[in-house]
């Protein structure tokens, strides 16, 4: 029987899930999205929208009444409400609850013997001083909840900074973590379906600027051993986490080629956007296959690809001229956001090596050139 799909969050991830859902019309009869912004990107892609906050109990109940299965594009959903509603929720609210709190998440990974940087819970300024004494500097002080784009992190490099860092968080629950001297940030897009089948996409390399993902290089420029290690760690992570769906597992590779997990996103992930063109099954279709209990699609990388985010420029907020990009092997995806804001994700493009003749460094150069040619300019 066909299912009605509910999505919490209708930004770009919800939009691309909606597009994939429309292609699975044999399985999905209707798509309903909950998002506070009227005519959100997912609604523009054809989902019916309930306008409301992600944490609004009434709105979530309304979504559940109209859906057979609910998934989400954001990890800040209200797990208490979600665990009470009648619709099936994937990934499961209990998994969401672990991941939402960085301290619970790291504790869970530690208990399951997955590799992570050393960390502690922090209860007071004094406590922070003690823990830093043990860990040594630098460390990252992190807000346990509701962080994104690195905004919940404070790097402490000297003893003088400790108090300022602690005050910065203004009473929020905190944890501290030893700073990893990494040589590369990478991620694995991993998936499990409701029958327990697990698959992973090949390791990709993530290049950040100001804590925001700028580019993803698929595959990562590391040895096959490192690629295999990362895949195994990702599979083990999926094995211990409950629930179905696509997960983005962010990792560091340290100076000794050791892999440490940084954090897990219980949802489709920005570093998986390359799969729209580089793989037979995109992460969005894969996510739906997983939560609907269908057989998983192939995760093989068919073409080397570089994904580049298109971000709102600094110093400008407002309506902007449409972005145009026509070039062989380059795929532009704009998210239909009306207003540009500094560092806001407005779209992305994939540079795909369709002839299988180019080195990723060439793709990266092309991506940089294209990125510099895209100007987000005021409409008037």
164 annotated to bind ligand: no
Binding mask 129-168 for ligand ATP (x = CB under 6 A): -----------x------xxxxxxx---------------
Q: What is the DSSP letter of 231?
A: H
Binding range to ligand ATP, per CB under 6 A, among 31-39, 41-49, 58-66, 173-181: 173-181
Select 147 or 302, whichever has its Cβ closest to Mg ion: 147
Q: What angle do CA 341, 346, 349 make, to 5 degrees?
A: 145
Compare residues 180 and 366 and give the one whose CB is closer to ligand ATP: 180
Dist CA 68 CA 212 (whole Å): 35
Measured CA to CA, the distance from residue 217 to residue 18 in angstroms comes to 25
- 179 interface partner picked from Mg ion, ligand ATP, none, CB below 5 to 8 A per type: ligand ATP
Q: Hey, what's the torsion of the CAs at 150, 12, 346, 212, to 10 degrees?
A: 20
- Binding map of Mg ion across residues 211-250, x = CB under 5 A, - = no contact: ---------------------------------------x
**CA pseudo-torsion sign 262, 184, 160, 164:** negative
Q: Using CB under 6 A as the criterion, what x/- string covers residues 25-64 for binding ligand ATP?
A: ----------------------------------------
- List of residues 6+ apart from 246 with CB closer than 8 A: 189, 190, 191, 267, 268, 269, 272, 283, 286, 287, 290
Residues 211-250: x where in contact with ligand ATP by CB under 6 A, - otherwise, as a string: x--------------------------------------x
180 is in an annotated binding site: yes
Q: In Å, how far are 42, 209, 313 from 245, measured between CA atoms? A: 19, 28, 33
Does 363 bind ligand ATP (CB under 6 A)? Our answer is no
What are the CA-CA distances from residue 168 to residues 82, 133, 294 (Å)? 31, 20, 46
Phi, psi of 51 (to 5 degrees): -85, 115
Other CB atoms within a 10 A radius of the CB of residue 56 amount to 16
Kindly tell me which of 49 and 275 has the beta carbon lying closer to ligand ATP.
275
Q: What is the 3-state secondary structure (H, E, C) of 4-19?
A: EEEEECCCHHHHHHHH
Task: Tell me whether residue 155 or residue 280 sits nearer to Mg ion (CB atom).
Answer: 155
Distance CA 250, CA 262 (A): 5
Task: Single out the segment in contact with ligand ATP by CB under 6 A; choices: 5-13, 175-183, 291-299, 320-328.
Answer: 175-183
Q: How far is CA 171 from CA 78, 107, 121, 144, 154, in A?
A: 21, 21, 14, 11, 14
Q: Which is nearer to ligand ATP, 203 or 352 (by Cβ)?
A: 203
Chain positions 255 to 284 lying near Mg ion, rule: CB under 5 A, are 263
92 belongs to the binding site for ligand ATP (CB under 6 A): no
Query: Is 333 or 345 the residue whose CB approaches ligand ATP more closely?
Result: 345
**117 is an interface residue for ligand ATP by CB under 6 A:** yes
DSSP letters of 174-212?
EEEEEPP-EEEEEEEEEEE-TT--EEEPPPEEEEEETTE
CB of 85 vs ligand ATP, minimal distance in Å: 26
Residues that bind Mg ion (CB under 5 A): 250, 263
Indicate the annotated binding residues for ATP: 102, 142, 177-180, 185, 208, 262-263
Residues that bind ligand ATP (CB under 6 A): 117, 140, 147-153, 177, 179-180, 185, 208, 211, 250, 262-263
């Amino acid at each position: 029987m066909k299912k009605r799909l509910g999505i919490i969050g209708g930004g770009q991830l919800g939009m691309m899930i909606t597009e994939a859902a429309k292609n699975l019309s044999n399985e999905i009869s209707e798509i309903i999205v909950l998002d506070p912004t009227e005519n959100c990107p997912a609604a523009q892609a054809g989902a019916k929208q309930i306008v409301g906050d992600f944490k609004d109990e009434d709105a979530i109940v309304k979504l559940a009444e109209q859906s057979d299965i609910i998934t989400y594009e954001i990890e800040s959903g209200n797990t208490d409400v979600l665990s009470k509603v009648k619709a099936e929720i994937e990934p499961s609210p209990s998994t969401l609850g672990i991941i939402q709190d960085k301290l619970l998440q790291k504790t869970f990974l530690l208990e399951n013997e997955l590799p992570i940087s050393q960390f502690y819970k922090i209860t007071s300024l004094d406590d922070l001083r003690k823990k830093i004494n043990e860990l040594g500097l630098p460390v990252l002080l992190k807000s346990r909840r509701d962080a994104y784009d690195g905004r919940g992190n404070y790097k402490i490099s000297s003893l003088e900074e400790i108090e300022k860092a602690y005050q910065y968080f203004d009473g929020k629950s905190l944890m501290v973590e030893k700073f990893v001297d990494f040589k590369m940030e990478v991620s694995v897009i991993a998936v499990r379906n409701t029958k327990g089948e697990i698959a992973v996409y090949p390791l990709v390399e993530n290049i950040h600027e100001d804590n925001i993902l700028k580019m993803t290089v698929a595959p990562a420029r590391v040895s096959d051993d490192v690629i295999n290690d990362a895949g195994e760690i990702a599979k083990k992570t999926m094995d211990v986490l409950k629930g179905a769906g696509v997960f983005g597992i962010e990792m560091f590779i340290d100076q000794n080629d050791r892999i440490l997990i940084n954090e897990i996103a219980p949802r489709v992930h920005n570093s998986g956007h390359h799969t729209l063109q580089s793989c037979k099954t995109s992460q969005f279709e894969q996510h739906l296959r997983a939560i609907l209990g269908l057989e998983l699609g192939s995760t093989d990388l068919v073409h080397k690809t570089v994904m580049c985010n298109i971000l709102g420029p600094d110093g400008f907020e407002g309506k902007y001229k449409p972005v145009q990009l026509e070039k062989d092997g380059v795929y532009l995806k704009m998210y239909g956001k009306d207003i540009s804001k500094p560092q806001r994700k407005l779209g992305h493009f994939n540079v795909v090596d369709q002839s299988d003749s180019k080195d990723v460094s060439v793709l990266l150069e092309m991506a940089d050139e294209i990125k510099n040619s895209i100007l987000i300019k005021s409409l008037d």
